[in-house]
Structure 1
Amino acid sequence: MRVLCATALALAAVVVPALTAQAEQPVNLGSTQIVDTVGALGGQEAEVESALNRLYNATGAQLFVVYVATFDGVAADESWATATAEQNGLGTDDVLLAVATEERIYDIFYPSDFQLDTEATREVENEFLPLLSDENWAGAALAAADGYREAIEGPGFPWGFVLGVLVVGAVVIGIVLVIGRRRASARHTAELADLTKLEQRASRALVHLDDSLTTSEQELGFAVAQFGTEASAPFVEALEAARTKVGEAFRIKQTLDDGVPETDEQARAGLLRILELCDQADDELDRQADAFDELRALEQAAPQTLVQVRADAERAAARLSAAIEALRLLEQRYSSAAVATVEDNTEQAEMLLTFVGRTASQAEGAIAAGKSGSAAIQLRTVQASVAQAGQLLDAIDSLGDRLAEATQSLDAVVADTRHDLAAAKAFQAEATSAELSAGIAAAEASLAVAESPSTLANPVARLERLTAANQELEGTFGRTRDAHTRIQNARVALDGTLATARGQIVAAGDFITTRRGGVGETARTRLAEANRRLDQAVSLAGDDPVAALAEAQQANSLAGAAISAAQSDLTSYQPVGPSRGMFTGPGVSEAVVGGIIGALIGGRGGGFGGGFGGGRSRSGCFGALGGFGGSSRSSGGSLGRSIGRSVGRSAGRSSRGRF
């Protein structure tokens, strides 16, 4: 054992410097700093990763980029990015940018004590959000990384120009102060001018409305004498309401004139309220004035109006018998609920026409007695009654038309529902669905009611019920059919995708194992995650082939990423010191030799098991080798960033929206 330890220590003197030089320094979110389940980054993932590394090297801040199709797994009012950050234990300098490409939503997590405040992060977001809108996914990630880096670093300070800037600045400040005072004075003058104009408008409105009130009070007296107190009651109410508004307007004006200074904003608000009150009062008075103008016109043409309203009443009476017969036929054919809205229309119309005849005779007597004002009121009542009787009779005809149209439409909806039921039942035989079964049952029940042989029916109600059931069945059938299609397509593609993923994982494992001396942590963790995703795909294959297919595709992608990361490690693998090349021969790389030596001196508990973390091996042989690789990113070690992520966890804030 002592001989083996001595040999291993000698080998470590050669191997450890090489491993330290090539160790990668990424930070993982699960297994990687970049998660792209939708292939958004395409062939630019390496470019994005370089930008993330530049951000960390310059500022110590870490940006995690996640592209998914949709945000699932959290409540609607929760942040998907925050939940992801908390689940992965992001630290105080970690930012997570998550993008749902199908939903077109972005969600960003910032730790509560992040180096940039809300205003600064919003400025960075404004730089890359337009790129998300253009679906330039990689460009957005690059802009985010560079934007945060530039914002944290801040602009450099040109000390060479300090004195010149101070001199020029003093002159500029003087000019700006003079111009600023002039502009402020100009703005104040313009505001005062606007306020003066507003005060003039308010004063004119108050004077105009006060005069209108006086005129309206005089006209009210004439109206009461001409048409009576009852007919003038609406005018009285409008006049009282106008007086109340004018009183409030005058009180506001007095407050503005009382010698106690108000701010410009207070004065403007008071003047605008005066204008509002005056406009409302004026409109109320105008409406009542128009009504009295109509009455006066009716008074002037009372004899002619009497002849016209009697002719209209006779035409309505002539329709009454036909309407009674039409209503009787509707009641024979349809249910009472179907005709409930018009069942007493003929009785109401007959009563109104009787009233019209009596009131028209009274108006004729008033005209003969020279009481034109009373005649005008009675004639206006007659006109309204005749119009209402006509509306009652029209409603019977309209209902008959609607019931006939509903009966015709019901036949078409019945046929459509039968067709949909047949298709849904045929599909149900292949793919059982509780939701579809409920939709079929509801449609069948509504169809049974629609085709009921009942003598008295309500086709409108039947049509509404059957239409709603048919629409629900169509929606449920469509959703179920689409889901079944997705499942079937996933089953077809799953076997081939699983085989491809297995092959890619085996290839990645062989590549990494045979070159492990030069392969760092990124490739290994992605390979481990690929294996986990493959196991998950296999376990889901029977119950949820859609989810299984997604897992298999991700496993294949991760395995490919593992190979890419390993190749990148080998490209940058440069052993240092006098030992470089001492174990290599023709056709054999340092990486392969390093892997063989690592396996030789590692064993189950020794070797480098305690090396990169500074711990002690179980055999006690290589505990003293701990700490290789360092703890900071800048030194080339692999634990600096992962430690920063696992400690100092804190609450944060999120920025969400659509693009």
Structure 2
Amino acid sequence: MAGLWGRRKREEQAAQDAQDADLAREAQRALVSVDERVRTTTDELEFAIAELGEGPTTELRTALAAVRHHLGEAFQLHQLNHDEIPDTPEELRTRNTRILQLCEWADDLLDDRTATLEKDIERVRRAPEILEQVRADTVTLGERLPHARSTLERLSQRYSEEAVRQVASGADEAEQLLVFATHSADVSTRRREAKRAEEANLALETATEAVRRAGAIIDGIEDFEIEALRAESTLADVIADSRGDLVAARQAPAVPAVASAVTVLEAALRALSPAGAKADPFAELSQLREANSGLDAAIAVAREREARPIPSIPHVRHSLDDADRQIAVARNVIAGHRGWIGADARTRLAEAERTRTDAEPMVADEDTREEAMGLARRAGALASEALQLAQRDIDSSRPQDPGWGGPQGGGRRGGGMGDAMGGILGGLVIGGLLGDMFD
């Protein structure tokens, strides 16, 4: 047995030694890899500064400084692993693990910072191509401006000033943006020739964004005309639907909510612009659709209520009174046996009281009266649970001495006090209070 135990220990130690050796080799490879990465990234930083300027490269410079600092710690730990002072396996394992952690952190940080710069550098390398595209887009969009102006003229003749307000000045804005884009492109070219990379890149971004915005504005003018025609067509359909709904509303239950919704929809129809007048189809469609939906919802609710009558206030009050009685019984029992009642019964009683309080404000409103009925019933059920749990606690706390009514008792105690207590607690409390006392 001793030989088997010794062999097992030797095998475990050999496995641990192999793991430690692998960890040491991995730490050395990571250290070399990150050191090379720092040198390469430093060269890339110099190129990025030349292409982008100092500002956009600030984060990478800061990251490199932090990596160099922590890489110094990693080299120091590696040196301790190979100095003349003997180390325990645990010390070597801790240092190599720390070296790996530092190298992984350095790699992740440099990956994040260089990825951002790679996009910017690629954009700078494509700057001549991008500037050429900006100038071409400026010409193309400029050729679309007369059509945009004629579209605005048509819109102003057909629709109200309020309707076309959002696009009325679009052609002028687009023209100004195109002029600015051309100017920015020229600035970018001159700054790049003067080796002022950061200013050149900023002007390039400005020119690109100005062209993008000008194109979006011109597209918006053309899209607006299409959307306005679509709104007119939809408005005609909603008008027809609304008039049909008003006819159908005459067959709906005669309740105040339906009458009010009918009044709102009739007012929305009367407010529509007369034929031939300049209108705002978007606003009119929105108002009419909202009034139409309101009538549909009111009729649906009225019909649902007609199919499922709302409980009357006296009916709900009856349920609330029943809940009040059950809560009062549970409260009295718990108050009379405070030392015997646990948390469960008290919690049920508190929840019953809270639920009963929530139900009270809902009784008067028809929209919430059914919910009030449900809360009243739940409050009563919770109070009943509280009473049952209280009785359980009382029963479990009752003295179990056979002298209290057990077969050894005699005389006055025979059959006696325990049964009397059980009768009082079980019969009077549960039966009497819950039944006869409140009937």
In the other structure, the counterpart of 1:284 is: 113
| Matched-pair identity in % | 27
Aligned residues of 2:261 and 2:295 also touching (Cα < 8 A): yes
Q: What residue in structure 2 maps to residue 338 of structure 1? A: 163
Q: How big is the shift at 1:410? A: 1.6
In 1, the alpha carbon distance for the partners of 2:167 and 2:73 equals: 54
AA aligned to 1:468 is E
Partners of 1:272 and 1:340 in 2: how far apart?
A: 60
- Is residue 395 from structure 1 mapped to residue 220 from structure 2 by the alignment? yes
1:312 corresponding residue in structure 2: 137
Which residue of structure 2 lines up, in the alignment, with residue 436 of structure 1? 258
Aligned partner of 2:290 in structure 1 is 468
Structure 2 residue 392 is matched with structure 1 residue 645: no
1:403-418 to structure 2, matched below 5 A, reads: 403-418=228-243
Matched, 1:294 2:123: yes
TM-score with structure 2 setting the length? 0.52
User: What code does the residue aligned with 1:343 have?
Assistant: A
Equivalent residues in 2 for 1:71-470, closer than 5 Å:
204=30, 212=37, 215-227=40-52, 229=53, 233-234=55-56, 236-239=57-60, 242=63, 246=67, 279=108, 282-298=111-127, 302=128, 307-360=132-185, 377=201, 382-429=207-254, 432=255, 434-450=256-272, 455-470=277-292
State the alpha-carbon separation in 2 of the partners of residues 372 and 481 from structure 1. Answer: 75
Distance 1:247 1:472 in 2: 68
Taking structure 1 as reference, are residues 467 and 222 closer, same or farther at Cα in structure 2, changes over 3 Å only?
same
Query: Given that residues 295 and 376 in structure 1 are in contact (C-alpha distance below 8 angstroms), is that contact kept between their aligned partners in structure 2?
Result: no
Per-residue CA distance 1:414-461 (angstroms, 9 max, x = gap): 2222222322243244xx2x3333333333333333456694433223
Structure 1 counterpart of 2:288, one-letter code = L
SS, match of residue 279 in structure 2: coil
Cα deviation code 1:304-361 (max 9, x no counterpart)? 6665443332211100111122123223333444334333332222123223444555
- Residue identity matched to 1:405: R
Contact in 2 for aligned 1:210/1:246 (Cα 8 Å):
no
Partner of 1:125: none
- Counterpart-to-counterpart distance in 1, 2:43 and 2:248: 78
- Could you tell me which runs of 5 or more consecutive residues in structure 1 were left unpaired when the two chains were aligned: 1-181, 263-267, 491-542, 551-626, 650-659
Give the aligned residue type for 1:239: L
The alpha-carbon deviation at position 288 of structure 1 amounts to 1.4
Query: Aligned letter for 2:284?
Result: R
Residues 486 and 388 of structure 1, relative CA distance in 2, 3 Å threshold: closer
State the alpha-carbon separation in 2 of the partners of residues 281 and 382 from structure 1: 31
Q: Which of the numbers 457, 474, 483 marks the counterpart of 2:305? A: 483
What is the rounded CA distance, in whole Å, between the counterparts of 1:313 and 1:387 in structure 2? 10
State the alpha-carbon separation in 1 of the partners of residues 224 and 32 from structure 2: 54
Asked if 2 retains the 8 angstrom alpha-carbon contact of 1:450 and 1:463, the reply is: no
> Compared with structure 1, are the counterparts of its residues 272 and 325 closer, same or farther at alpha carbon in structure 2 (3 Å cutoff)?
farther
Matched to 1:446, the amino acid is: A
What is the CA–CA distance in structure 1 between the aligned matches of 2:287 and 2:214, rounded to whole Å?
A: 33
Corresponding letter in the other structure for 1:448: R
Structure 2: segments with no counterpart, 5+ residues: 1-7, 81-86, 92-96, 312-365, 374-414, 435-439
Instruction: Report how many residues are paired.
Output: 311
Return the structure number with greater strand share. 1
Q: Is the 8 A contact 1:209 1:282 kept in 2?
A: no
Task: Say whether the 8 Å CA contact 1:238–1:285 is kept in structure 2.
Answer: no
C-alpha distance after superposition, 1:217-255 (max 9, x if no partner): 44343344345x3xx522x2432563587589779989x
Pairwise CA distance, 1:385: 3.4
Greater fraction of residues in helix: 2
Q: 1:414 to 1:290 in 2, by over 3 A?
A: same
Alpha-carbon separation, structure 2, partners of 1:245 and 1:413 = 66
Q: Do the aligned residues in 1 keep the contact of 2:178 with 2:210 (CA within 8 Å)?
A: yes
TM-score (norm 1): 0.37
- Structure 1 pair 233–324 and aligned structure 2 pair: CA distance change class (3 A): farther
Query: How far apart in 2 are the matches of 1:251 and 1:642?
Result: 84
Matched residue of 1:338: which SS? helix
- Tell me which of the two structures has the higher relative contact order, counting C-alpha pairs closer than 8 angstroms and 6 or more residues apart: 1
Residue type of the partner of 1:238? E
Question: 407-416 or 212-221: which moved more?
Answer: 212-221
**Using the alignment, how far apart are the partners of 2:34 and 2:230 within structure 1?**
55
- Matched residues in 1 for 2:99 and 2:233: separation? 62
Distance (Å, rounded) in 2 between the aligned partners of 1:464 and 1:376: 48
Alignment partners' CA distance in 1, 2:150 and 2:218: 11
Specify the code of the residue in structure 1 equivalent to 2:295: L
